[in-house]
Amino acid sequence: MDKVLVTGGLGFIGSHTVDLLIKRGHEVTVLDNLEWQVHHGKVPEHANPEATYIRGDVRYAKHWIKALKGTDSIIHLAGAVGVGQSFWQARKYMDINAGGTATLFEILTKESALRKKIERIVVASSKSCYGEGAYRCEEHGVFYPEQRPLSQLKKKEWEMKCPQCGNDAKPTGIREDKPMQNLSPYSLSKYSTERLSLDFAYSLGIHTVALRYFNVYGPRQSLSNPYTGVMAIFLSRLKSGNRPFLFEDGRQLRDYIYVGDVARINADALKKGNGVYNVGTGKPSSLVEVVGYLNRSLGTDTEPVISNDFRPGDNRHDYADNTLLRKSFGNMEFRDMKSGIEELVKWSSKADVHDMFEKEEKERKRYLSI
């Protein structure tokens, strides 16, 4: 039985990954610091009793060394998550995400006894590294634009325009070779995680996979943490009797992937793939559509607030081209959004719900107003 270390294994994606690994017969050790913003310092009820747990912080070498003993493979999911918050906590995000990963590879470089046992490393990256999405102009083909200028946004012209002809362009799937923009400290910290892992792995001769997650949703997603994802934010608003708040016209497209599918890809990456992969369904949905699915699953009919306002730095559309993932991991089916949201809503009936959107907005406006 091989031994897998999962960092952040008590978290949303991590706990589902741990469950699947144990089901597949792996021995699992979890390194997790029980981050207050996520867990309030408490071990969650969903912690799998068959795993071994070490409370520790990926920034500290002694915690890594303790967790790495006897480890054959690593799934490194621990990290600070939150695009907006990363602007006013930039050092924290870089310390945890980039610094924690650098600490791991510094140890593996120095400690040959630990390094020689490691067969594979899987690290969590993020689609946020791409920045703005990919677009196609009917006349000029695919292009990768910079952020929309403030002058355009102030005129409430939301759609991306072709830089050559000025016509509205249609979004298309993002491939792994799209140039990185890294428009936030969070995205830069995740890209640093990715590059550190791949560069060190090449030097150390360890097969490594970096997975660029798109918008992950599902059971165990915190409904009290306003930085955990738009699906959870909308659900916490609805369950608290508040209207979901949509920026721009609410028709922004995103790629939502069910957490069980992500856990499966994490586990499969212990045997398949090498390099960088998009982890998304390739099927985009608008924010308005997401609110509709949530309303139907909840049995509510709460209209969202369409603000016709914008947040500087938001991209218009993004969704995955997952051709490379399917080629390396095999053709796969993804859970449809209707049933995935039904599972999320069913789980939420017993979850702690605190609508923190307005608090987060107050913070954002305090630090990032223009």
Nearest to 163 by CA among 136, 181, 133, 183: 136
Q: What does the pLDDT look like over 220-256, one tens digit per residue?
A: 999 998 888 999 999 999 999 999 999 999 999 999 9
Task: Say yes or no: domain 3-133+173-368 is CATH 3.40.50.720.
Answer: yes
Look up residue 112 and give its amino acid: S
Contacts of 198 by beta carbon, 8 Å cutoff, 6+ apart:
208, 210, 275, 276
Average pLDDT over the chain, rounded to an integer: 96
**CATH 3.40.50.720-classified regions of the chain:** 3-133+173-368
Residue 364 is predicted with a pLDDT of: 87
The average pLDDT across 326-353 equals 96
Q: What Rg do the C-alpha atoms of the chain give, in angstroms? A: 20
Residue 227 is predicted with a pLDDT of: 87
Using 50, 70 and 90 to split pLDDT, how confident is the model at 98? very high
Using 50, 70 and 90 to split pLDDT, how confident is the model at 370? low
Query: Taking a C-beta distance cutoff of 8 angstroms, is the pair 118, 206 a contact?
Result: yes
Residue 92 is predicted with a pLDDT of: 97
The average pLDDT across 327-349 equals 97
Beta strands in the chain, from DSSP E residues, in sequence order: 3-7, 27-32, 52-55, 73-76, 120-126, 134-137, 141-143, 170-172, 207-213, 215-217, 245-246, 253-258, 275-279, 284-286, 305-306
Q: Torsions phi, psi of 305, nearest 5? A: -85, 115
Q: Which residues on adjacent β-strands are paired with residue 123? A: 76, 210
**Residue whose structure tokens are 């952040």:** 8
Q: What does the pLDDT look like over 263-303, one tens digit per residue?
A: 999 999 999 999 999 999 999 999 999 999 999 999 999 99
User: Is the pLDDT score of 369 beyond 80?
Assistant: no
Q: Which residues on adjacent β-strands are paired with residue 18? A: none
In whole angstroms, give the CA distance from residue 22 to residue 18. Answer: 6
CA angle 10, 253, 280 (to 5 degrees): 45
The average pLDDT across 98-110 equals 98
Q: What does the pLDDT look like over 148-192, one tens digit per residue?
A: 999 999 999 999 999 999 999 999 999 999 999 999 999 999 999
Nearest to 11 by CA among 238, 33, 288, 22: 33
Nearest to 128 by CA among 226, 7, 248, 215: 215
Nearest to 332 by CA among 344, 343, 341, 320: 320
Query: Taking a C-beta distance cutoff of 8 angstroms, is the pair 185, 91 a contact?
Result: no
In whole angstroms, give the CA distance from residue 153 to residue 150. Answer: 5
Residue 38 is predicted with a pLDDT of: 82
Nearest to 13 by CA among 221, 312, 267: 221
Residue 201 is predicted with a pLDDT of: 93
The average pLDDT across 133-155 equals 96
Using 50, 70 and 90 to split pLDDT, how confident is the model at 1? low
Neighbour tally for 240: CB within 10 Å:
13
Q: What does the pLDDT look like over 37-73, one tens digit per residue?
A: 888 788 999 999 999 999 999 999 999 999 999 999 9
Query: Taking a C-beta distance cutoff of 8 angstroms, is the pair 263, 13 a contact?
Result: yes
